[in-house]
Chains A and B, each alone.
Chain A
Amino acid sequence: AQSVTQLDSQVPVFEEAPVELRCNYSSSVSVYLFWYVQYPNQGLQLLLKYLSGSTLVKGINGFEAEFNKSQTSFHLRKPSVHISDTAEYFCAVTVSSNTGKLIFGQGTTLQVKP
């Protein structure tokens, strides 16, 4: 079975500072990886995904993530955050490219302070 661990439940950071949100997964088969963002009282919005190819994936809003198979990680990074990036971020995994049946991590709340 697959599982996803987001190592930090909350990450406080000052505006314009860089940030990394950590995600590790466990799976005995190849996986496809995703990061979603959830703003208050809204649904999930896809930030980026890794299906194949380059291990460095660029997404919306200046975010990027790197798939590291040896470390089973898919950490999310942004070089300079804005107040508007304050939200909850979810890492997710699936073992099939044919389905959106996802297994999610517990989420990380990013708090950007002025």
Chain B
Amino acid sequence: GAGVSQSPSNKVTEKGKDVELRCDPISGHTALYWYRQSLGQGLEFLIYFQGNSAPDKSGLPSDRFSAERTGGSVSTLTIQRTQQEDSAVYLCASSPSGPRNTFGSGTRLTVV
């Protein structure tokens, strides 16, 4: 597509439920990133996929968070047993190479 597409744009979930957030990167972009934007923590790196290499998971805050990227394209970020502190905007970005990120509009997650 023309840009990075994220779905849903908004998600409200009950505490303890699992959620899946989806990211469709720009076609041909080999790198894909997830960031989290929250009031208390600002913009934080979560995870990074580059081609067929093992992902860089160094930013995931706990083992409740996981992500996969299927076929080198679409990525899903999964949060298990959501907590209120998980409420944030989750941003996805893709890049053809290097620091040339194009960001999506994000998914606003609210845990009630």
Which A residues are within 8 Å of any B CB, using their own CB? 32, 34, 36, 41-46, 49, 51, 90, 92, 94, 96-107
Is there an interface contact between B99 and A43, defined as CB atoms closer than 8 Å? no
Grouping DSSP codes into helix (H, G, I), strand (E, B) and loop, the B interface class, with mixed when no group exceeds half, is strand
Cβ-closest chain A residue relative to B93:
A100
Pair A101/B106 contact, Cβ less than 8 Å = no
Range, interface on chain B: 20 to 34
Chain A residues with CB below 8 A from B43, complex form: 90, 92, 104, 107
Residues of B within 8 A of A (CB): 4, 31, 33, 35, 42-45, 48, 50, 56, 91, 93, 95, 97-101, 103-106
A102, B42: Cβ atoms under 8 Å?
A: no
The chain B residue with its CB closest to the CB of A93 is B99
**21 A-B pairs whose Cβ atoms sit less than 8 Å apart in the complex:** A34-B99, A41-B105, A43-B4, A43-B91, A43-B105, A44-B93, A49-B99, A98-B97, A99-B31, A99-B99, A100-B48, A101-B33, A102-B35, A102-B99, A102-B101, A103-B45, A104-B35, A104-B44, A106-B42, A107-B42, A107-B43
Among residues of A, the one whose C-beta sits closest to the C-beta of B3 is A43
Of B33, B35, B99, B101, which one neighbours A32 at CB under 8 angstroms?
B99
